[in-house]
Amino acid sequence: MDISIEQIAEAALSLPSDARALLADRLVESLDPLADPDVRSAWAAEAQRRLADLRSGKIKAIPAHEVLAHVRSQSK
pLDDT tens digits for range 14-72: 999 999 999 998 888 788 766 788 888 898 999 999 999 999 999 999 999 999 999 99
Compute the distance between CA of residue 7 and CA of residue 24 in angstroms, rounded to an integer.
16
* pTM passes above 0.85: no
Higher pLDDT, 76 or 61: 61
Give the pLDDT band (50/70/90) at residue 75.
confident
What is the 8-class DSSP label of residue 35? G
User: Hey, what amino acid is at 38?
Assistant: D
Compute the distance between CA of residue 24 and CA of residue 17 in angstroms, rounded to an integer.
10
Coil/strand/helix, residue 58: coil
Rg (CA), the chain: 21
Contact 55, 61 (CB under 8 A): no
